[in-house]
Amino acid sequence: MNNINQDYIEKYIGELLPRPIPFIQELEEYAQKHNVPIVQPEVAQLLTLILKIQKSKNILEVGTAIGYSAIVFSKAMGEDSHILTIERDPEMVSLAKENIKKSGLEDKIEVLEGQAEDIFPKIDGAFDCIFLDAAKGHYMDFISKSLKLLKKDGLLISDNVLFRGMVATDALVKRRKITIVKRMRKYLEYISNHPQLHTSIIPIGDGVALSIKKE
């Protein structure tokens, strides 16, 4: 129970999801066995649907881990698409590269190794979508550059924004998580009220915020 949805709802929705292709399933099993936090399958299903509706062709991702979300998004976007993804943990970087190669997506997904705080300022371009899925306490560090890098009508996706329900109520906040929770609340207030963004916070998975850049 992650304090966001009832277990029976998650279980029911999970059972309705299409069976993942064998390699995607292998990645999910690896992540579970080795405690690697990856985007939940029902969240991946929602996000790939939105990427298809939006006709996204290029994504900037912060937080690659084993490459699961990048591979799932890349397959959803199809030909002529590109993902730039940032990861600071060298072990994750080599696992991600291996998995991307096994998926035959080396020409579509580029992994940049390092702290996103250092790499972000050096990135140029115009992205259809930016996916923030790294250290939860640091999303504010990426928002102003993200706004510059997003195209008009581009999509900003922020994952884990309800953080096991703690962000929504003090009653659930663990003492050692107070700083992260305070930072995430500040971030959600910022993206909910920013004049350039139209934001919706969705209680699915660990909480996902979807924001469209209006101008």
Ligand X SMILES: C[S@@+](CC[C@H](N)C(=O)[O-])C[C@H]1O[C@@H](n2cnc3c(N)ncnc32)[C@H](O)[C@@H]1O
Q: Residue 9 and residue 208: Cα distance in Å, rounded?
A: 17
Q: How far is CA 186 from the centre of its chain?
A: 19
Q: Residue 35 and residue 65: Cα distance in Å, rounded?
A: 11
Regarding 184 and contact with ligand X (CB under 6 A), the answer is no
Task: Specify the residue, 115 or 196, whose C-beta has the smaller distance to ligand X.
Answer: 115
Q: Which of 28, 87, 128, 206 binds ligand X (CB under 6 A)?
A: 87
- What's the closest the beta carbon of residue 86 comes to ligand X, in angstroms? 5
Task: Specify the residue, 86 or 150, whose C-beta has the smaller distance to ligand X.
Answer: 86
Residues from 66 through 85 that contact ligand X (CB under 6 A):
68-69
- To the nearest 10°, the Cα dihedral for 6, 9, 186, 190? -160
Q: Which of 46, 93, 116, 180 binds ligand X (CB under 6 A)?
A: 116
Task: Specify the residue, 25 or 115, whose C-beta has the smaller distance to ligand X.
Answer: 115
Q: For residue 141, give the DSSP letter.
A: H
Task: Specify the residue, 8 or 122, whose C-beta has the smaller distance to ligand X.
Answer: 122
- What's the closest the beta carbon of residue 123 comes to ligand X, in angstroms? 13
Q: How far is CA 9 from the centre of its chain?
A: 22
Question: Closest Cα to residue 205, out of 26, 10, 18?
Answer: 10
Residues from 42 through 71 that contact ligand X (CB under 6 A):
63, 65, 68-69
Q: Residue 112 and residue 134: Cα distance in Å, rounded?
A: 14
The tokens for 174 are 């663990």
Q: Select from 99-107, 131-139, 166-174, 177-185 the region that touches ligand X (CB under 6 A).
A: 131-139
The answer to whether residues 199 and 215 touch, using CB atoms and an 8 Å cutoff, is no
- What's the closest the beta carbon of residue 197 comes to ligand X, in angstroms? 21
Type of residue numbered 154? G
Q: How many CB atoms lie within 10 A of CB 101?
A: 12
Q: Select from 8-16, 32-40, 75-83, 174-182 the region that touches ligand X (CB under 6 A).
A: 32-40
**Interface residues toward ligand X, by CB under 6 A:** 37-39, 63, 65, 68-69, 86-89, 92, 115-117, 133-135, 138
